[in-house]
Amino acid sequence: MEKVHLGLGGNSGDTEKAFQEVILGLSAIFAGLRVSAIYRSSARYYEDQADFLNAVVEGWTGLSPRELLVAANALEAAAGRDRSKEIRKGPRRLDIDILLFGRHLIAESDLIIPHPGLRERKFALLPLVELDPNLTDPVSGSPLSAFLSSLPPQGIYLLHPADYDLLYL
């Protein structure tokens, strides 16, 4: 069993519902599943689109990295994702990225772990560090929180502020 971290993202349709559905699907292949808060983030790369919702799930799986990629792609398709009709980095209901797979380093044409954009994306790092503040980058050995603190603001906000905060809005 390996500890795995997946990034969830989407900005088309009911993304929160898509997250709930995919988390239910992931519970069948993960033990000890934990889910971060949901964050709203400004679109990056292709900016002419709605804000994204992002979260991270963490759990233990007996699947190989390749088997997990196949399962993640099947869950995306079940949620209505059709990559052949998408603009690269454009709007989508659900995106599942394998951020970390234990300490594995994988560099294949369609599977790179850790995720190649991880160290530059606050929308992935914030929920990842929320779940496990002590995670380190398998490549450099540096704490992921150090990458997070070195990045400029990127327009990332909690989707649902704490109840305490709601008292003072």
**CB-based contacts of 159: which residues, under 8 Å, 6+ apart?**
16, 37, 38, 39, 40, 53
pLDDT tens sequence across 68-90: 999 999 998 988 877 777 777 77
Domain extent listing, the chain: 2-166
Q: How far apart are CA 16 and CA 22, in angstroms?
A: 10
For residue 168, what pLDDT is reported?
54
From 122, 69, 59, 124, select the one nearest 98 (Cα to Cα).
Answer: 69
pTM reported for the whole predicted model = 0.91
pLDDT tens sequence across 17-68: 999 999 999 999 999 999 999 999 988 877 778 899 999 999 999 999 999 9
From 82, 91, 84, 10, select the one nearest 46 (Cα to Cα).
Answer: 91
From 109, 80, 99, select the one nearest 139 (Cα to Cα).
Answer: 99
Tokens of 128: 């990842």
The answer to whether residues 133 and 145 touch, using CB atoms and an 8 Å cutoff, is yes
Neighbours of 76 (CB within 10 A): 20
- Which residue out of 14, 82, 83, 97 is catalytically annotated? 97
Torsion over CA of 143, 98, 58 and 157, rounded to 10 degrees? 70
Torsion over CA of 35, 36, 42 and 45, rounded to 10 degrees? -60
Instruction: With residue 113 as reference, give the H or E element that holds it.
Output: strand 111-113
- Which residue out of 51, 88, 93, 95 is catalytically annotated? 95
Least confident stretch, 61-75, 87-101, 121-135: 87-101
Q: How far apart are CA 112 and CA 19, in angstroms?
A: 23
Task: Indicate if 92 belongs to the active site.
Answer: yes
Task: Tell me the range of 7-11, 87-91, 155-159 where mean pLDDT is highest.
Answer: 7-11
Residue 136 pLDDT > 60: yes
Domain 2-166 falls under CATH 3.30.70.560: yes
Across 98-114, average pLDDT: 95
End-to-end alpha carbon distance in the chain: 44
- Which residue out of 92, 93, 119, 121 is catalytically annotated? 92
